[in-house]
Amino acid sequence: MARESKIDESLVRHVAHLSRLALTDDEITRMTGELSAIVGYIDQLGELDTADVPPTAHALPVHNVFREDEVTPSFDSDTALSNAPQREGTFFRVPKILDTGDGA
C-alpha cells in the first residue's frame, strides 16, 4: 500500500500552526526540505509487498498490560512546578490563553 507522502510549505505551515510553533520563512523552507527527505526515506517501506501481512496497531506482540487501581505517591506541588518558567502559588502561570477557533 504505497502512499504518496508530499511535504510542501503549506503543509509545514499548517502543522507548525497546529503545534503552536512560530517558524520563520527560512525555517519553513529548511523544514520542508528536511521533512521531505525523512518522509521520503520512510516511504521506501511502501515498496515492500505487504499484501499478506495483517495490519497491526503496535510493534510488540504484547497486549493487556495493566496495573491495579492502587494509589502511588505523587510529587509535592513544588516538585511538580520545579520546571515551570512561571508560577503563582501552586499554579502554573502561562500566557493568556487565546481561543483561535481551531483548538479542541
Partner 1 sequence: MGHKASDIEARLIVGFETHVQLATNTKLFCGCAVAFGETPNSRMCPVCLGLPGALPVMNRRAFDFAVLTGLALGCKISVHTKWDRKSYYYPDLPKNYQISQYDLPLAHDGAFEIPSEGGSKRVGIIRAHLEEDAGKNLHDQGDYSLVDLNRAGTPLLEIVTRPEINSPDEAYVYCTELQRLVTYLGVSHGVMQKGQMRFEPNINVEITAGGQTFRTPISEVKNLNSFRSVRGAVEFEFRRQVQDWLADHDYQFKKRPNENRGWDDERGVTVFQREKEAAHDYRYFPDPDLVPVEVDTAWLNGVRESLPELPLARRMRFELQYGVTADDAATLVADRETADCFESAAERAGAPQTTAKQFLNVWSRFANDRGVSVGRLAVSAERMGELAAMVDQRVVSATAANQIAERMMSSSDEPRQLAESMGLVTVADEGQLDSWVAGVFAGNEKAVKDAIANPKKTQAAVGFLRGQVMKASGGKADPRLAGDKIEARLAAMRAG
The answer to whether 31 and 23 have CB atoms below 8 angstroms apart is yes
The answer to whether 23 and 16 have CB atoms below 8 angstroms apart is yes
Closest CB to partner 1 among 26 and 88? Answer: 88
| Distance between first and last Cα of the chain | 32
Shortest Å distance, C-beta 20 to partner 1 = 4
**What residues from 24 to 53 belong to the interface with partner 1 (CB under 8 A)?**
none
Residue with cell 523544514: 31
Stretch that binds partner 1, among 10-18, 23-31, 34-42, 46-54 (CB under 8 A): 10-18
Q: How far is Cα 94 from Cα 16, in angstroms, rounded to an integer? A: 20
Stretch that binds partner 1, among 1-9, 30-38, 40-48, 95-103 (CB under 8 A): 95-103
- Cell numbers standing for residue 17: 500552526
Which residue of 19, 24, 44, 52 would you call a contact of partner 1, by CB under 8 A?
19
Contact positions vs partner 1 (CB under 8 A) = 14-15, 18-20, 57-60, 62-77, 80-81, 86, 88-97, 99, 101-104
